[in-house]
Amino acid sequence: MFHVEQSQKMNKEQFKSLIRNIPDFPQKGIQFKDITTALKDAECLRWMRDEIVKIYKDKGITKVVGLESRGFIIGPAVAMEIGAGFVPERKPGKLPADVISVSYNKEYGTDTMQIHKDALCEDDVVLIHDDLLATGGTVEAAIKLVKSVGVKKIYVNFLIELEALNGRKVIDKDIEISSLIKF
């Protein structure tokens, strides 16, 4: 299904240069990596989608699970391009049917994520997608939710990885992880 003309103008360094750093957001001491500056560039959007598709197009993925909320931006485009469905993982009160929930710690507090009970099945090969890997709390919760269904295999992808925060250490060693850029 991968038929989109490859981006010729964008590369990792150009993508990295489009990420805006917001000091002390959402609280003091956090250096927030804002992707909205990259999202407003059509060539960059295309490049992000195409780079992720290149990594996962031959992995047999049946569902892309996007994490609220920035995982909803590129995740559906990747899913369509590789012929997979898209499943949103959301915060409480956002999904209308029966859900599975998990609470977790993140770098600046606690949170809960939910997925519909019938969103995945044992035959699914899942790509969990989010914009950023920091300490890993959010993706750890996402993996727990996806594993609770008993899927065949899980892959994890991020647009950005903050290496100094060691988020990879909370992800199971048998899960393949990719990040488009690292800070």
Q: Which 3-state string (H, E, C) describes 88-121? A: EEECCCCCCCCEEEEEEEECCEEEEEEEECCCCC
User: What is the pLDDT averaged over residues 130-136?
Assistant: 94
Q: How does DSSP classify residue 16?
A: H
CA angle at residue 57 from 129 to 142, to 5 degrees?
Answer: 20
Residue ranges of domains in the chain, CATH in brackets: 59-182 (3.40.50.2020)
pLDDT of 150 reads 94
Q: If pLDDT is split at 50, 70 and 90, which confidence band does 180 have?
A: very high
H/E run at residue 39: helix 36-39
pLDDT of 47 reads 97
pLDDT (tens digit per residue) in 149-172: 999 999 999 999 999 999 999 999
The answer to whether the beta carbons of residues 168 and 136 sit under 8 Å apart is yes
Pairing of strands 153-161, 176-182: parallel
> Does position 8 have pLDDT exceeding 70, yes or no?
no
pLDDT of 2 reads 42
User: Count of CB atoms within 10 A of residue 179's CB?
Assistant: 18
d(CA 32, CA 92): 23
> Does position 123 have pLDDT exceeding 80, yes or no?
yes
Tokens read off for 36: 């909205």
The answer to whether the beta carbons of residues 85 and 64 sit under 8 Å apart is yes
pLDDT (tens digit per residue) in 17-72: 999 999 999 889 889 999 999 999 999 999 999 999 999 999 999 999 999 999 99
pLDDT of 107 reads 64
Please state, in angstroms and as integers, the Cα–Cα distance from residue 59 to each residue in 83, 102, 110, 146, following that order. Answer: 11, 27, 33, 17
Catalytic residues, by residue number, are 70, 107
3 compared with 77, residue with greater pLDDT = 77
The answer to whether the beta carbons of residues 49 and 5 sit under 8 Å apart is no
